[in-house]
Amino acid sequence: MRSQMFYRVKRGAFLILAYTVLLAVAAACLFPLLWMFGSALKTQETIFSDFSLFPQQPHWENFVVAWTQANFNTYFWNSVFYTVAVVLGLVLFSSMAAFAFSRLDFPFKNALFLLFVCMMMIPLPGQFVALYVLLTNLNLVNTRLGYILPQIDAGQALAIFLLKTFFDKIPKDLEDSARIDGCNKLGIYRHLALPLAKPAIAVVVIFNCLAVWNEYLLAMLIFSEKKLMPLPRGLMVFQGTHLTEYALLMAGVSITVIPIIVVYLVMQKYIISGITAGAVKG
Amino acid sequence: MSGKAVRQYARMSCAGILLAMLCGIGGCSGSGSGTQPSGKKEPAKKADVVVWHWMSDRDAVFQELAKQYEGQTGQVVDFQLFAPSEAYSNKVRASAQTKTLPDIFGILAETRDFASFIKAGFVENLTPAMEADNSQWKKAFFEKALAMETFVEGNQFNVNPGIYGVPIDVMNIQFFYNKDLFAQAGLDPEKPPLTFEEFIAVGKKLKAANIQGLVSGWSEIWMINCLADNFAWNLMGRDKITATLKGDVPYSDPDWIRVFSLFKEMQDAGVLATGMITMVNKHAEQTFANGKAAIAFNGTWGVNVYRGMNPKLNYGVFLPPKISDKYPVAVWGGAGSSFKINALSAQKEKALQFLRWMTEVPQQKLLADKTMNLPSNKESAADIIPALKQFSAAMEYAVHPSQLPYSEFPRVVEAMGKGIQLIIIGSKTTQELAAELVALKQEEMKRLEAKKAAGK
Amino acid sequence: MSAVLELKKKYTWKDAPDMLTSYLFIVPALVIFLLFGLYPFLQVFWLSVHSWDGISAVKEFVGLQNFIEVIRDQYWWQAMKQAGYIAFLALTFQNALALILALLVDQDIRGGNAFRVIFYLPPVLSGIVVGLIWGWIYDGNYGLLNKVLEVFGQGQFARAWLADPKTALTCVGIIHMWKGFGWGFVILLAGLQGIPRELYEAADVDGAGSWHKFMHVTIPMMIPVFVLVMILTILGTMQIFDIIASTTNGGPGYATEVPVTRILASMLGSSRFGYSCAQAVVFGVILLIISLTQLHLSKKMKQA
């Protein structure tokens, strides 16, 4: 009896402590987001003087104004297009390569894989001149393709690394039985490896959606025409060289954050078992 | 079995084709290019003149001006904005490498880089145009603004003397003060400090009243160097500063030590608001606009920024406090932004005409009214809003490093700004900073000598 | 990774068709990589042995002079050390927090799903919002942190947190950790949830306490995940930049300078493009050594 009481108290104490920590951290994460949404409803004058999270007179129209002023009609859909294209291409190419590195056999395989892994580690600010010259020579400056391909490159080293770790765990017997069923390499990749890798792919999607969605340095470098630019170009309208229109900026930023959160919500179901199968099973 | 394989291949290639289409569509719809100076045409509307700039807050007015210009002349001018400034710098440099700069562009950089662009043959010399018809165009500008676009005979960079840019607007940096807070501290709100002693006294009074003093974006070292420059010009005058830049006067000179020590004096007297040395300017602007600090060291644009954040803010403006009577008080300023014409462009004449039109009085006035920047055309400065008048008047005192034939090495500039930050927080002495600057300067001079020797 | 260690096989002409189809799998990735990854990298490497201002047509070959200067540049190494310090903070505190939170949420407690989403919010927030909010927290005059200290009677510790060289770097590090722990949390939680429950049940049968289970089931099962998180943390932290730019710009003095701010300062600030490329190469090589060492160690741990 006593020991049961003891365990119940212990469990209760643990829960109180656990929730204190969780709620404290959650507050620290939620506050900026709430502030951002709240500020989106204020005006330039009240944004730094009214400290309430939700203003007395909410300016809901800020969202509409932000959408139109920032020309999101163009930029938002451009960004959706770029994000989908980059992530699709990235997932396709890197999963194929990772599959080859993991399950197939060919000369210089290890050397090539190591090269990819090394590139993942080397960040190079200063590449932009070389990249621009290259894109100009390929006639890809100011084209959508010229914006998509370098970003596929930027994400694929890490993706290949992650996916290969994952493919490595697929039991040899599964592959053999598929082969007996008449699957060739492509069949094994398509029908065995890819479905099993869904979770790892979800990780790759989340990582890269955020990166592509927020990208602007490359966009500014290679696009000249406004109609090709992604979302962050729209937000520039509110960030003058000196003057920042904070309320509208916050409304614009709020709009841009929502799709990313949705992607995460959709994808996180997969991640859970994803990392598991990829990295844990010894 | 083979049927299965075929199906797999079919599916795979479907996915591949879909992706290729996605990219391909993009490739097609984006292939028109309006950027080539040769004027490869855009399907919808062929631009006669393409302009690149980074001034996100001026873009709307630029578009409006372009429309007006099209209405008046039939010429299509396409303003293209690339922001923020780092992204713009990248773009201009990269495009220079492929010789694909637009007809008109801005350069966001120091004199040294401006000179490099000129020497590489990217910037048209505008002297003939400026000096035509009895220098009519040239005379329209504030002298100080044009000085920043000018390379004089015998300049350090060996650039052919001439005028290489067209100032669009001008700015300078002064002190704003909050009149209400001054009154609260028992100071006369209509009598801002004139001399450094008075300035220090004001700081002490503010501190006694528990009011924060000066805020500014001093995490950006150029803003610290602005004030240091002001003090230096006032203390030793143009010639001695030129001599310093040339390498004839060392930074260990007592006058320079005095400049550095002024920052220590301000800190000790409590003039500087807590933490202002690592503030970004936007944060400093918020602080001043909301009455949390009594003084701000900020540029012309502050008028616009403060009005947006707090229209009721009751403030005045004063010049940098005087340290010495030997030389006039100096205000850091000059061209706020300027445009250059691409020397490789086929549309040079059209570009020139447009810039000439843009700096005429009506257009300058529109620009000033909409953006609250000072116009670069003197005549349009006559009827601007009162708050800006004082800035316009101060153009007379404006000084800027690029007015001099020599300019300081970037490493020395950085070390000075950072060093002053450290002096303010007491982790470096003025002597130590002077010694560091002297050493750095020698090192850079040696490098330059070696380069010159190798060149010959 | 075991494939890397395999001995080289002999290939014959008979294998050629098979090899070719295998190569087809890596061709798209490889072509993109060679064009947009390797080529710019080689260009940067080439520029690093030249003196160039980033504009003019002349690039003067200077051999290793840029590298010698990088090695002698005290501010470069200070920046490196400072990024290393933040990386150390992130590796310990950030990952510890991420692990604790992941362990708590893994307990099947109520609201677990909500927390899972909330903890991922900081990484998606825009840098502008982050800079603004933390600017107010650390502000020397009316900052939240100073107010909290005063309320608890610790007013003597109040200061301008970002302007004091004693605290600036740590404060920037805290912002970075706050923004970054969400990633670690998500990955670690996924790892924890992936541990087969049977292992715990088996341990229960053996009468193991919760501490024993943690040490002998959880930790060993999590090692590969830890390695992944550690590498990502180091790569992410060493390249910290946005937060510095929106808070201190590297000040006071050089107290919060990091490698990327130094590279950008020499590239655009002082127009020493060749030199900045040399800095970038040195930086890349250091990161590469750290990461490969880590991978190597983890392989050894797995084998042990």
Q: Which of B1, B93, B308 sits opposite A243 (nearest CB)?
A: B308
- B179 and B317 part of one domain: yes
Q: Any idea what the Cα angle at residue B101 is, between residues B95 and B104, rounded to 5°?
A: 145
Q: Is B45 on the interface with A (CB under 8 A)?
A: no
Q: What are phi and psi of A275, to 5 degrees?
A: -60, -40
Instruction: Report the pLDDT averaged over residues A83-95.
Output: 96
When pLDDT is cut at 50, 70 and 90, the band that residue A44 belongs to is: confident
Q: Is residue B216 in some structural domain? A: yes
Kindly give the pairing relationship between strand B166-178 and strand B374-375: antiparallel
Q: Which of B89, B273, B419 sits opposite C268 (nearest CB)?
A: B89
Tell me the average pLDDT of chain B.
Answer: 86
The total number of structural domains in chain A stands at: 1
Give the nearest chain C residue to B90 (CA atoms): C268
Residues ≥6 apart with Cβ < 8 Å to B171: B299, B300, B301, B333, B334, B335, B336, B373, B374, B391
User: Is the bond into B84 cis (omega within 30 degrees of 0)?
Assistant: yes
d(CA B371, CA B380): 14
Q: Is residue A38 in some structural domain? A: no
Q: Is residue A88 in some structural domain? A: yes
Q: Which of B410, B411, B421 sits opposite C252 (nearest CB)?
A: B421
pLDDT of residue C2: 41
Contact of C124 with C240, CB cutoff 8 Å: no
Question: How distant is the Cα of C289 from the closest Cα of chain A, in angstroms?
Answer: 9
Which helix (DSSP H) or strand (DSSP E) does residue B55 occupy? none
Which of A86, A43, A56 has its CA nearest to residue A245?
A43
Which of A185, A224, A231, A244 is best to mutate for the B interface (most B CBs within 10 A)?
A: A224
d(CA B98, CA A224): 15
Query: Does the pLDDT value for residue B119 go beyond 80?
Result: yes
Query: Does the pLDDT value for residue A274 go beyond 50?
Result: no
- B430 and B291 part of one domain: yes
When pLDDT is cut at 50, 70 and 90, the band that residue B154 belongs to is: confident
d(CA B435, CA A27): 50
pLDDT of residue C303: 67
- The verdict on a CB contact (< 8 Å) between B274 and C164 is no
- B232 and B370 part of one domain: no
Question: How distant is the Cα of C225 from the closest Cα of chain A, in angstroms?
Answer: 6
Tens of pLDDT, residues B308-352: 888 899 999 999 999 999 898 888 887 788 999 999 999 999 999
Query: Which DSSP string do the residues of A200-224 spell out, in sequence order?
Result: HHHHHHHHHHHHHHH--HHHHHH--
Q: Is residue B36 in some structural domain? A: no
- The verdict on a CB contact (< 8 Å) between A133 and B94 is yes
Domain extent at residue B234: 172-333+406-455
Largest CA distance in chain A: 81
Q: Using the structure block, give the residue that is written with the tokens 């160097």.
A: B225
- The verdict on a CB contact (< 8 Å) between A191 and B8 is yes
Q: How far is CA B203 from the centre of its chain?
A: 29
Q: Is residue A13 in some structural domain? A: no
The structure's pTM equals 0.86
pLDDT of residue A72: 92
When pLDDT is cut at 50, 70 and 90, the band that residue B38 belongs to is: very low
pLDDT of residue B11: 52
Domain extent at residue A266: 63-280
Query: Does the pLDDT value for residue B389 go beyond 50?
Result: yes
Which of B161, B154, B212 has its CA nearest to residue B182?
B212
d(CA B214, CA B174): 12
Q: Is B87 on the interface with C (CB under 8 A)?
A: no
Q: Is residue A141 in some structural domain? A: yes
pLDDT of residue B455: 67
d(CA B251, CA B442): 11
Which helix (DSSP H) or strand (DSSP E) does residue A147 occupy? helix A144-167
pLDDT of residue A97: 95
Domains and CATH numbers, chain C: 73-303 (1.10.3720.10)
| DSSP letter assigned to residue C61 | E
Question: How distant is the Cα of B152 from the closest Cα of chain A, in angstroms?
Answer: 30
Q: Is residue B203 in some structural domain? A: yes
- The verdict on a CB contact (< 8 Å) between A221 and B310 is no
Chain C residues within an 8 Å CB radius of A109: 3
d(CA C276, CA B93): 15
Q: Is residue B9 in some structural domain? A: no
Question: How distant is the Cα of C131 from the closest Cα of chain A, in angstroms?
Answer: 10
Q: Any idea what the CATH number is for the domain that residue A212 is in? A: 1.10.3720.10
Higher pLDDT, C13 or A10: A10
B5-19, B407-421, C287-301: which is most confident: B407-421
- B389 and B419 part of one domain: no
Sign of CA dihedral B64, B69, B72, B75: negative
- The verdict on a CB contact (< 8 Å) between A224 and B9 is no
Chain B residues within an 8 Å CB radius of A139: 31
Tens of pLDDT, residues B342-384: 999 999 999 999 999 999 999 998 888 887 788 888 888 767 7
The total number of structural domains in chain B stands at: 2
Q: Is residue B323 in some structural domain? A: yes
| A 241-260: CB under 8 A from B | 241-245
Instruction: Report the pLDDT averaged over residues B63-87.
Output: 92
Q: Any idea what the Cα angle at residue C161 is, between residues C159 and C163, rounded to 5°?
A: 100
CA atoms within 13 A on the CB side of A259: 18
When pLDDT is cut at 50, 70 and 90, the band that residue B44 belongs to is: low
- B139 and B190 part of one domain: no
- B215 and B114 part of one domain: no
pLDDT of residue A157: 87
Q: Any idea what the Cα angle at residue A277 is, between residues A271 and A278, rounded to 5°?
A: 80
- B189 and B152 part of one domain: no
Q: Is B13 on the interface with A (CB under 8 A)?
A: no
Which of C34, B11, C194, C33 has its CA nearest to residue A189?
B11
- The verdict on a CB contact (< 8 Å) between B34 and A224 is yes
Query: Does the pLDDT value for residue B245 go beyond 80?
Result: yes
Percent of chain B surpassing pLDDT 90: 58
Q: Is residue B146 in some structural domain? A: yes
Total Cβ atoms within 10 A of residue A139? 13
b/e sequence B126-141, b meaning 16+ C-beta within 10 Å? bbebbeeeeeebbebb
Query: Which DSSP string do the residues of C228-285 spell out, in sequence order?
Result: HHHHHHHHHHHT--HHHHHHTTT-STTTT--HHHHHHIIIIIS--HHHHHHHHHHHHH
Indicate the angle between helix axes B127-140 and B348-358, nearest 10 degrees.
10
| C 7-26: CB under 8 A from B | none
Dig out the tokens for B19 from the structure: 């992706």
Q: Any idea what the CATH number is for the domain that residue B227 is in? A: 3.40.190.10
Q: Using the structure block, give the residue that is written with the tokens 């700081």.
A: B203
Query: Does the pLDDT value for residue B402 go beyond 90?
Result: no
d(CA B144, CA B165): 13
pLDDT of residue B36: 36
Instruction: Report the pLDDT averaged over residues B156-181.
Output: 92
Query: Does the pLDDT value for residue B5 go beyond 60?
Result: no
- The verdict on a CB contact (< 8 Å) between C3 and A110 is yes
Q: What are phi and psi of C51, to 5 degrees?
A: -100, 120
- B68 and B118 part of one domain: yes
- The verdict on a CB contact (< 8 Å) between C124 and A21 is no
pLDDT of residue B2: 45
- The verdict on a CB contact (< 8 Å) between A125 and C126 is no
ipTM associated with this complex:
0.84
Contact of B174 with B331, CB cutoff 8 Å: yes
Dig out the tokens for A226 from the structure: 């406004």
Total Cβ atoms within 10 A of residue B121? 14
Q: Is residue A167 in some structural domain? A: yes
Q: Which of B109, B219, B451 sits opposite C251 (nearest CB)?
A: B219
d(CA B51, CA B60): 14
d(CA C14, CA C123): 52
Contact of B195 with B321, CB cutoff 8 Å: yes
Q: What are phi and psi of C14, to 5 degrees?
A: -60, -30
Q: Is residue B1 in some structural domain? A: no
Per-residue pLDDT of chain C (304 residues; tens, 9 = 90+): 344 444 445 667 777 788 888 889 999 999 999 999 889 989 899 999 999 988 888 888 999 999 999 999 999 999 999 999 999 999 999 999 999 999 888 877 788 788 888 998 898 888 888 888 898 899 887 788 998 998 898 888 888 899 999 999 999 999 999 999 988 888 788 778 767 777 888 888 888 888 888 888 888 888 877 887 888 898 889 988 889 988 898 989 999 999 999 998 888 777 888 999 999 999 988 988 888 888 788 777 766 6
- B118 and B250 part of one domain: no
Largest CA distance in chain B: 98
Tell me the average pLDDT of chain A.
Answer: 85
Chain B residues within an 8 Å CB radius of A143: 26-27, 30-31
- B303 and B450 part of one domain: yes
Higher pLDDT, B374 or B412: B412
Instruction: Report the pLDDT averaged over residues B42-66.
Output: 85
What is residue B51's three-state secondary structure? strand
In this structure, the dihedral spanned by the alpha carbons of residues B277, B283, B288 and B293, taken in order and rounded to 10 degrees, is -40
Total Cβ atoms within 10 A of residue C1? 15
In sequence order, the β-bridge partners of residue B322 are: B195
Q: Is residue B416 in some structural domain? A: yes
- B323 and B358 part of one domain: no
Q: Using the structure block, give the residue that is written with the tokens 């970037």.
A: B410
Tens of pLDDT, residues A157-198: 888 987 887 788 777 888 888 888 888 888 888 888 888 777
- B220 and B245 part of one domain: yes
d(CA A151, CA A46): 40
When pLDDT is cut at 50, 70 and 90, the band that residue A252 belongs to is: very high
pLDDT of residue A195: 82
